Amino acid sequence: MHWGVHVPDTPRIHHVQGRLVRVPMTRPLGTSAAVVTHAFLLLVDLQIDGGSVGHGYIFCYGEAPGRAAAEWLRRLAPELQGQSAAPKNLAEWLAPRMRLVGHRGVASMVTAALDIAAWDAHSHACGVSLAQMLGASPAPIRAYNSNGLGLVDAKIAAIEAEVLLEGGFGGVKMRLGRPTLEQDLEAVRAVRRILPSQCHLMADFNQALSPAEASRRCCALDDEGLAWIEEPVRHDDYATYALLRTKIRTPLQIGENFQGPSAMAQALALRCCDYVMVDVERIGGVTGWIDASGLAAAHDVELSSHLMPEVSAQLLAASPTRHWLEYVDWATPILKRPLEIRDGYSVPHEGHGTGVEWNEDAVRAFLVE
C-alpha cells in the first residue's frame, strides 16, 4: 500500500546467473583501434516469479572487461534475489550501486545485460515477443553485413566484400584508417568496384583521425558513393562533427558510443550528424533504447543498431525511424536459433521474448572459467 492506494505487485527476481564465454569469430576484425579474434560475451539468465527465464548477452570487447563484468554480476546476484523484476524498477535499484564508479564501461555492461534479460523474462511471461511487448509488430529489418572487412589490403578487401554479400545483404561495412589516405581510397575503390551498384557501402574510421586529417580524408572520400562515414574523429567531439558535416555531402554516422540517451540528446541538439546508431549495451539496455528511439523520432533522424543484432532487430521494429540493422554473427555459435538473414532482411522472431536462447553444449565448450 502506498498513500492508501493499492499498488499491484510486479514479479520479483528469483535467480540470476552470469557466465562469460570466449567465442571464436569466423572473421577476425581488424579496426584502427584493435584486432579482435574472439568475442567475449557475458550471458545473463534471469528467472522471475512464475518461472519465466529471460536471457540477454553483451559483447564485452575483451577478456579483462568481460571477467570484471561477470564477477560484478556474480556479486550482485544474491542481492538481486527478491528485487522487483520490472526493468524500470531494476534500473532504479542499480543506479545508486553504479553511481560512484560511473555509469559506463563495465558498469554499463552489467546494467544493460540485466535489463535485456529482465525485458526478455517479462515478454516470456506475457507470451509475446519483445517487439510486441514494446507495442510493435515483429518486422523484417534491412541488414548490412558488418563481419570482416577490417584494415586489410585493397585486393583482399574486394574478395572479402563479394563473399559477404551471400545471404542477399544490401550493404556491407568496411573499416578505414589505414596509414595513408591513398591506401584508404584504394581499398574503398576496390570494394566499390566489386559490389553491385545498388549495394550500399558503409565506412567506419573507429575514431582514428585528428580533426584536420578527418577533414582531408572525408572530403577526398566524398565522391566515392559511400552510404555513410562513421566516427572519423573522437566519438564525443561533437563540435568537429558539426563542422565536418558542413564540408561533405556523404552522411555522417555516429552513436555506438552514446553512453545513455542524454549523449544522443546532446548530439542531436547540435545537429552534428546525419544518422545515429545505438548500441543496446551502451545506451542502457532495452530501457535506454526506448528513450533513444523516441529522441531520434522527435528529431526525425534515421536510427540504426550497433552489434548484438538479435535483440536490436526487435528494438528496431519498435523504432519509428529505423534504418539499418548491423549484422555480425559473433553470437551465432552459442545460440539455439541464430538470427536469420533472408534477402537482406532479418527474419522476424515469431516466438516469445527476444528469441535468444543458449546452445548449452556450445556455452560449455566456450565457457571462461
- Residue ranges binding Mg ion (CB under 5 A): 204, 230, 256
Quick one: cell of 308?
548484438
**Measured between alpha carbons, how far is 113 from 149 in angstroms, rounded to an integer?**
28
What is the closest distance, in whole angstroms, from the C-beta atom of residue 23 to Mg ion in the complex?
20
Nearer to Mg ion, 230 or 274 (CB): 230
Nearer to Mg ion, 176 or 190 (CB): 176
Nearer to Mg ion, 122 or 175 (CB): 175
What is the closest distance, in whole angstroms, from the C-beta atom of residue 59 to Mg ion in the complex?
12
Burial class (CB in 10 A: 0-12, 13-18, 19+), 139: middle
Nearer to Mg ion, 91 or 264 (CB): 264
Beta bridge partners of 144: 326
What is the closest distance, in whole angstroms, from the C-beta atom of residue 303 to Mg ion in the complex?
15
What is the closest distance, in whole angstroms, from the C-beta atom of residue 269 to Mg ion in the complex?
22
Residues sharing a CB contact under 8 Å with residue 64, sequence separation 6 or more, in sequence order: none
Give the CA diameter of the chain. 72
- Angle 105-126/63-80 helices, nearest 10 degrees? 50
The sheet that has 53-59: what strands, in order across it?
13-30, 35-48, 53-59
What is the closest distance, in whole angstroms, from the C-beta atom of residue 108 to Mg ion in the complex?
17
Nearer to Mg ion, 204 or 274 (CB): 204
**Measured between alpha carbons, how far is 98 from 107 in angstroms, rounded to an integer?**
6
Exposure pattern of 345-368 as b/e (b: 16+ CB <10 Å)?
bbebbeebbbbbbbbeebbeebee
Nearer to Mg ion, 256 or 329 (CB): 256
